[in-house]
Amino acid sequence: MHLMRIGAPGAEKPVARIDDERYVDLSDLVPDFDEAFFGSGGIERIRPVVTERASAGQVSRFAGERVGAPIARPHQILYIGLNYRDHAAESGMPVPDEPILFTKSPNTLVGPYDDVRIPRGSTNPDWEVELGIVIGRRTSYLDSVADARAAIAGYVVVNDVSERAFQLERGGQWAKGKSAETFNPAGPWLATADELDDVLALDMWLDVNGIRRQSGNTKTMIFDPYFLVHHLSQFLVLEPGDLINTGTPPGVGMGLNPPVWLRPDDVMELGIEGLGAQRQRVVAPR
């Protein structure tokens, strides 16, 4: 299934996308795609309903509604840094022996077509297309990497918007450069895990103002999604609906020579095979 949330910010309704034109409304069954939904087996509960309603023609047509992030605000957003060898090289940093973990404020989550706002004092705002993992059940101390598959609800496209000066020049943790408002566009849909033949063979891309900046494939990850979920479960409890963003391929603005930074009125377009595409306009600080 492809799960989406459509409607105004704070008033999104949960739906299942059938195709680019049609969806099944699920708002009479579940309040939202949130921690309670994922933690109570919500995906399997709605699966037969979606099939039944689609077969019966009980569908609606998209009518230009805003598309929100496909999950409600999660308990936590976890990020893995330098998870592509060539991105580590362009950043001038060594390939990590273990996943680099940092957090991003959950209130950074916005829809895939919402504006991205540059924060006050910013000088080096940057882009990063990433594969996001959504956790499907409360998870800790997994016994094996294989066990991680059952803990994953699905996958999403995310844009890990970053402020590099805040991240690297202001001391402290990377969260400073990652947690400004609007810095985590996600969606347009969550593809349940069964929708992807091979999550380790997905093409990914990002353009800025029509210029291709990033091209990559999930097969070049250093630590794959199953390893990451198992690894993180040894250090913290993963809650249903948590989002893990898994790193970016090369081509970020920081890695260009000379560096290229986002400016107001720039347009980012990005996507991952099987997970749809995003488009954001960059706006000035408020």
Which region, left, alpha or beta, applies to residue 229 given φ > 0 means left and ψ of -120 to 50 means alpha? alpha
Structure tokens at 249: 């391929």
Percentages helix, strand, coil for the chain (3-state, rounded to 5) are 20, 30, 45
- Is the confidence at residue 92, as pLDDT, over 80? no
Angle at 183 between CA 209 and CA 16, to 5 degrees: 90
**Model pLDDT for residues 200-225, shown as the tens digit of each residue:** 999 999 999 999 999 999 999 999 99
Q: Which parts of the chain fold into alpha helices (H)? A: 35-39, 42-55, 85-90, 164-169, 225-233
Count the alpha carbons within 13 Å of 215 in the hemisphere toward its beta carbon: 2
**Model pLDDT for residues 183-196, shown as the tens digit of each residue:** 999 999 999 999 99
- Is the confidence at residue 132, as pLDDT, over 90? yes
For residue 247, which of 270, 271, 224 has the smallest C-alpha distance?
A: 224
**Calpha distance 161→148 (Å, rounded):** 27
Identify the residue whose tokens are 């594969």.
131
Q: Which of the four pLDDT bands, split at 50, 70 and 90, describes residue 94?
A: confident
Which region, left, alpha or beta, applies to residue 170 given φ > 0 means left and ψ of -120 to 50 means alpha? alpha
CB 268 within 8 Å of CB 102: no
Neighbours of 28 (CB within 10 A): 8
For residue 23, which of 72, 71, 57, 69 has the smallest C-alpha distance?
A: 57
Residue 9, judged by CB atoms within 10 A of its CB (0-12, 13-18, 19+), counts as: exposed
pLDDT of residue 86: 74
Strand partners, 126: 162
CB 213 within 8 Å of CB 206: yes
- Is the confidence at residue 275, as pLDDT, over 90? yes
pTM beyond 0.85: the answer is yes
Residues in the chain: 286
Cis link prior to 250 (omega < 30° from 0)? no
